[in-house]
Amino acid sequence: MARLPRFVLPGYPQHVIQRGNNRQQILFEEEDYWFIWEKLGLAAEQFQCEIHAYVLMPNHFHLLLTPHLENGIGRLMQSVGRYYVQYFNARYERTGTLWEGRYRATLVDPKTSLLPVCHYIEANPVRAGLVAQPADYAWSSYGANAEGNDDPLVTPHREYARLGRSLKARHASYARAAAVPLADSELATIRDATNKAWVLGGAPFCQEIEGQLNRRALPRPRGGDRRSAAYRRRAGLA
């Protein structure tokens, strides 16, 4: 089956995942983390993308970012991937592919899904059993978003600014929300949308995107009574 084209709209945030080939480890030493962190920052500036949340995991990384060019994310990911493969292969004396094919991405509804995706990304090390709390992990945006730590990689989204009237209030509000684990259903929704390249958001947002791009934002519901309220909700018709 042919892969669906990605949803790309400048000014709309996207959740992006890039994994190591066969989920192999891609980050070993602190120098590896610093290298990819630096390349992400340089590419974000060069290709006009704002990064709102990120996490660098041993075998993959997540980004939540808003592109301001139609090809901004693609060029950022290509640049970072190319530089990191060259660095990695030279450092560890290896050859061959490093990445698991093309990156995965989903367009994110900023009003309903942006902050949950931030929390999803920053809680990755906790779910993986690497740390007890997001604050214990050095290579994520949690310190910037929840504690006000200086992180040049992070640019707050306008939805983040609505968390409080002062910077301190925004940090506190963000930290409180992050302390509540996402429901299993929400985790599944975020993963499914990202892995299958569907839009992540409510029915009004999906309809907006469909109108702009003239293509379906969600998969067609399978089976069921097409006249039922449940079917119409799944299809975004109610």
pLDDT tens string 183-206 = 999 999 999 999 888 899 988 989
Question: Do 100 and 175 fall within a single domain?
Answer: yes
Question: Do 75 and 189 fall within a single domain?
Answer: yes
Contact 10, 70 (CB under 8 A): yes
Distance between CA 93 and CA 148 in Å, rounded? 39
pLDDT (tens digit, 9 = 90+) per residue, 109-152? 999 999 999 999 999 999 999 999 999 999 999 999 999 999 99
Question: Do 71 and 30 fall within a single domain?
Answer: yes
**pLDDT of 231:** 41
Distance between CA 9 and CA 212 in Å, rounded? 9
Distance between CA 220 and CA 71 in Å, rounded? 28
The CA-based angle 53-55-60, given to 5 degrees, is: 130
**Domain annotation covers residue 144:** yes
**pLDDT of 3:** 58
Distance between CA 113 and CA 107 in Å, rounded? 10
Contact partners, residue 141, CB within 8 Å, separation at least 6: 51, 52, 53, 54, 55, 118, 121, 122, 151, 153, 154
**Domain annotation covers residue 3:** no
Largest CA distance in the chain: 61
What is the domain range of residue 224?
202-238
Distance between CA 226 and CA 238 in Å, rounded? 12
Per-residue pLDDT of the chain (238 residues; tens, 9 = 90+): 455 667 788 999 999 999 999 999 999 999 999 999 999 999 999 999 999 999 999 999 999 999 999 999 999 999 999 999 999 999 999 998 899 988 999 999 999 999 999 999 999 999 999 999 999 999 999 999 999 999 999 999 999 999 999 999 999 999 999 999 999 999 999 999 998 888 999 889 898 888 887 778 787 766 544 444 444 444 444 4
Question: Do 62 and 126 fall within a single domain?
Answer: yes
The predicted model scores a pTM of 0.89
Question: Do 144 and 196 fall within a single domain?
Answer: yes
φ, ψ for residue 71, nearest 5 deg:
-105, 20
Contact 117, 179 (CB under 8 A): no
**Domain annotation covers residue 4:** no
**pLDDT of 230:** 43
Query: What is the number of structural domains in the chain?
Result: 2
Cα distances (Å, whole numbers) of residue 61 to 16, 55, 99: 8, 6, 11
**Domain annotation covers residue 106:** yes
Question: Do 78 and 125 fall within a single domain?
Answer: yes
